[in-house]
Structures are given as C-alpha cells and as structure tokens.
Amino acid sequence: MKTRPASLEGSLIWLFFIPICTITLFAVWASISLALGALASFTLILVVLLPSLFALYKAYQRIFGCLDGVAVQLDGLANEEFTVWHLAKYKQGRVAQIKVDLKTIAERMKNKRQEYLQNETFIFDFINELDLPIVVLDHHYHVYHHNRAAETFYHGKNITGFSTAQLKLEQVQGRWQTLKQNQRFKVVEHSLYRGQRKYQLMVYVSIEQSLRRNEQQAWQKLVRVLNHEVRNSLTPIYSMAQSLKELSDQSNEELRDTMLNVIEKRSEHLLSFVANYSKLSQLPVPQKSHITASGLLLRLQTLFPSVCVKLLSGQNLSLFCDVEQLEQALLNLVKNAQQANEVIGSQRVELTLRLQNEVCQIDVLDNGEGISNTDNLFTPFYSTKEQGNGIGLVLSREIIRAQGGELTLNSRTDADGAVARIELPNELKESGIVSS
C-alpha cells in the first residue's frame, strides 16, 4: 500500500534526504577508492556534504517563508487590509504571479467592500427618509442604528444602544410587537449581514393601519344603511305624493288625511335620521383641562346615582380631558349597560376609574349576556335593538378618539356581561388651577 506524507514539511524532508544520501555515499566511495585515512575521509565528507545541507536548509526556509507570506496576506485580506506587500521582493516567476493574483483578489474585495458600504449607506439614508419607525439591532439585540421616525416614536430620545426591553418590544407567538398610546404595532424583522456579523432590521407597522380595510368595509356598510333608510322613507313619500296629485277634490277626505299622516311620519323619521348623522359628523373640538380624581369621582357619582362608581387608583392624581364630552360618552355607555342588564333582570352597573401619570382607564361593567358578535359594534346606524338608532357607541368612540384615546367593548372574563373600556392619555399638571 502506497503511503503519502501527511504534510508538506514531511514531503520535503523525504525529498531532501535523497541527495544527502547520494552525496554521502559518493564521499564514502571516493574515500575508499583513494584509500584515505579516517580523518581525511571525514574531512572529505564534511566538505562535500555541508554546502549541500546549507543549500537545502535555505531552500526549505525560502519555501516556507513564501508560504508564510501568502498566509499573512490572506489573513490581511480576511481582515479587510487590501495592500499586497508581504511578497514584494519577488519580481519574477511563479511567486510573482501569485502576488499578482492576490493583488487582483484584493482589488476585487476592496471594490466589493466599497459597494457594500455604498449600499449600506443608501439603505440607512433610505431608512432615515421613511415615515415608519425603523431600528437596526446588532447581534446582541441592541440598537445599532435608527431613523428619525423611530426617535420620534420614542419621544425624541437617542435610543442608540437600547436593548429590546428598553424599547418595550415583546415577542408574542414568535413575533415582535409593541404598544404606544393604545395603538398596537407589529414589528417586522429582517436579517442583514455585514462581514461576519448579523443585524436585525426592525420595521414598526401600526396594526391600526392594517385595520383600515375593515374600517372601509364599515363605511361601505354605512352607505348601504344610509341608502336603505333614505330609500325606505322617500319611496312611500314619493308614491303617496303622486297619488295625492291624482286625487280629485271630491275624493275621500279620510284617505287623503291617511296619506298625509304617513308622509308626515316618514318625514319625521328621515329628519331624525339626518339629525343623528349630523350629530356624529359635527363633534366639537375637545376643550381639555385638568380635573382632580376626587372631583371627577364626585361628578360621576352625581351624574349616575344608581351606578356603583369606584376610584381604584390614582387618588392624588388629576385627569387631563374634556370632562363634558367624557360625561356624554359615559352617558351612552351606562345607558347601554343598563339596557343589557334589563334583558336578564339585573340592575347592577359598575363604573371604575384607574388614574396613572400617563394613562387613565375607565370601565363600565354590566351583568348582561356579553358580546356575541363584534362585527358591527361600531357600524354607524346599525342596532340590534328595536328602538335603537345605532349612534350611541359610534358617537362615544368618536368623542374618546377626539381626545387621543380609545374605546373598546368586550365580554367580561371575570363574570357574565360586557365591559366598555375607555383609555385616555394623561398629562401631568405643570401649572395653573385644577378644576374640581
């Protein structure tokens, strides 16, 4: 079985051993042929063998010195050092050609690096111009870069170096998301590679914007409701008006009065419908002011004497809001809660307040049947009640949204019934008089 040397060094030593043995045997043969003494024979062997050993040693050094130079050069290229100087003394031959090849590789790598840097600069400049908040995280998941929209998202803070915890990012079912001012943002993650390091491009996308299509569907439902209501009122009015024109003066007075009465009722219904629509579309601009927690509690207890009103936290804080508009929204919600209780014969409605420095939470809780279908909750003029006009919840939500808050309606998790939750952004009072 033919064996091969395990290394280049071993291969060279075996190859160098052949001329050394040949020279040694030749010197021994010459000493025997010339009948030289021991000292003369030893001297002859040294004279013949030493230059050969020296030459072979130098050849060995040159070969591995060249290989070391190539290795150092490759290491420099790996560390983005593009100067080729380790083999500068070789002007001709195979090593010089290797030097040329390394120089070509270095130029290509340098051009590629410049291209990558230009692309990276372009990407970062492009990111900076986008209105979406975007942050770039390093391999430790700390902020490496962010755009102006991200800085604005975090209230003007320089977030470079922030961790995901400081960014208030959390993973839900393997996906990043965050919450700001009652709006949920999903964070889309993309991987970027620079050298040997991996970066994460995090793009913040408002889930509210993703729900615009649902809102568009709601407005389409509104148009259908408008068309239905107006057509249902105008069709009999038009028909009866035509009939009245054809009636002669001697016709049945009772029939004429009946037709006029129907026209009057349908016209009243249409006017009421238009008035509700006007109420929804012409909300006044909120006039915000500070009100103490105790002052708000007293006002709500006076406004809703049959409702259990509780202040659960923030007794020493104040709320920055338009109190009159807030009370109008609560009137609608409490009325809905009382109507939900009537279905099962209950009368207990709770109204709870939680005040914090940054947000206020108000819950209206009933003991009814809960929410079975949320599809049309906030569709204008849609109602499941016989006498409902479908305006209360929509109007309440628009009032709360005008103050920067949000209104949600869900089934309770702790008991039967539903909970209408208002979340309003709060501001600490700096100066001035707080209303009570």
- Give yes or no: residues 300 and 269 share one domain: no
Q: Is residue 169 within 8 Å of 233, Cβ to Cβ?
A: no
Last residue of a domain, one of 209, 226, 247: 209
Give the pLDDT score at 311.
Answer: 92
Q: Buried b vs exposed e over 314-342: b needs ≥16 C-beta within 10 Å? A: beebbbbbbbebbbebbebbbebbbebbe
- pTM for this one? 0.43
User: What's the CA gap between 209 and 230, in Å, rounded?
Assistant: 31
- pLDDT band with cut points at 50, 70 and 90 for residue 277: low
- Give yes or no: residues 75 and 180 share one domain: no
Least confident of 39-48, 228-237, 358-367, 407-416: 228-237
Structure tokens at 76: 């420099």
Strands 350-355 and 308-313, by their bridges, are parallel
User: What's the CA gap between 381 and 389, in Å, rounded?
Assistant: 5
pLDDT of 5 higher than 70: no
Domain hosting 149: range is 130-209
Residue 90 lies in a domain: no
Q: Choose between 383 and 269: higher pLDDT.
A: 269
Q: Choose between 400 and 279: higher pLDDT.
A: 400
For residue 6, what are the CA distances in angstroms to 9, 10, 11, 343?
9, 7, 8, 91
Residue 242 lies in a domain: yes
Give the pLDDT score at 351.
Answer: 94
- Give yes or no: residues 295 and 387 share one domain: yes
Diameter of the chain measured on Cα atoms? 168
| Long-range CB pairs of 272-278, under 8 A, 24+ apart, other chains included | 272/389, 273/229, 273/230, 273/233, 273/381, 273/389, 276/381, 276/389, 276/391, 277/226, 277/380, 277/381
- pLDDT band with cut points at 50, 70 and 90 for residue 312: very high
For residue 325, what are the CA distances in angstroms to 312, 316, 356?
22, 23, 20
Last residue of a domain, one of 209, 225, 259: 209
User: What's the CA gap between 319 and 358, in Å, rounded?
Assistant: 10
| Residue pLDDT, tens place only, 136-154 | 898 888 998 888 888 888 8
- pLDDT band with cut points at 50, 70 and 90 for residue 32: confident
Give the pLDDT score at 6.
Answer: 66
- Give yes or no: residues 296 and 226 share one domain: no
pLDDT of 222 higher than 70: no
User: What's the CA gap between 254 and 237, in Å, rounded?
Assistant: 17
User: What's the CA gap between 434 and 428, in Å, rounded?
Assistant: 11
Q: How big is the chain by its Cα radius of gyration, in Å?
A: 44
Backbone torsions φ then ψ of 259, nearest 5 degrees: -65, -45
* Number of domains into which the chain is organized: 4
pLDDT of 1 higher than 50: no
pLDDT of 334 higher than 60: yes
* Whole-number percent of the chain with pLDDT over 90: 8
* Whole-number percent of the chain with pLDDT over 70: 79
**What average pLDDT is seen over the chain?**
79
Give the pLDDT score at 433.
Answer: 45
Q: Is residue 139 within 8 Å of 198, Cβ to Cβ?
A: yes
Residue 256 lies in a domain: yes
Q: Is residue 262 within 8 Å of 236, Cβ to Cβ?
A: yes
pLDDT of 434 higher than 60: no
| Residue pLDDT, tens place only, 234-273 | 776 777 777 777 766 656 677 777 777 777 776 776 776 6
| Residue pLDDT, tens place only, 280-311 | 566 778 888 999 999 899 888 888 888 899 99
Backbone torsions φ then ψ of 244, nearest 5 degrees: -65, -35
Give the pLDDT score at 431.
Answer: 45
Q: Choose between 158 and 48: higher pLDDT.
A: 158
Instruction: For residue 142, give the 3-state DSSP assignment.
Output: strand
Q: Choose between 434 and 73: higher pLDDT.
A: 73
- pLDDT band with cut points at 50, 70 and 90 for residue 421: very high
- Give yes or no: residues 333 and 374 share one domain: yes
Nearest CA to 425 out of 351, 357, 324, 363 is that of 357
- Give yes or no: residues 244 and 203 share one domain: no
For residue 29, what are the CA distances in angstroms to 19, 32, 33, 35?
15, 5, 6, 10
| CATH number for the domain harbouring residue 371 | 3.30.565.10
Q: Is 381 exposed, middle or buried (0-12, 13-18, 19+ CB in 10 A)?
A: buried
Mean pLDDT to the nearest integer, 30-44 = 80
Amino acid at 89: K
Residue 115 lies in a domain: no
Q: Choose between 132 and 116: higher pLDDT.
A: 132
Residue 364 lies in a domain: yes
- Give yes or no: residues 139 and 253 share one domain: no
- Give yes or no: residues 142 and 222 share one domain: no
Question: CB 4: neighbour CB atoms within 10 A?
Answer: 6
Nearest CA to 366 out of 403, 334, 400, 324 is that of 334
- Give yes or no: residues 296 and 416 share one domain: yes
Least confident of 95-109, 150-164, 373-387: 373-387
Least confident of 96-110, 119-133, 195-209, 218-232: 218-232
Residue 158 lies in a domain: yes
| Residue pLDDT, tens place only, 39-68 | 887 887 788 778 888 888 888 888 877 787
Last residue of a domain, one of 153, 181, 209: 209
Residue 406 lies in a domain: yes
- Give yes or no: residues 157 and 255 share one domain: no
- Give yes or no: residues 204 and 222 share one domain: no
Residue 96 lies in a domain: no
- Give yes or no: residues 301 and 373 share one domain: yes
DSSP string, 202-230: EEEEEHHHHTHHHHHHHHHHHHHHHHHHH
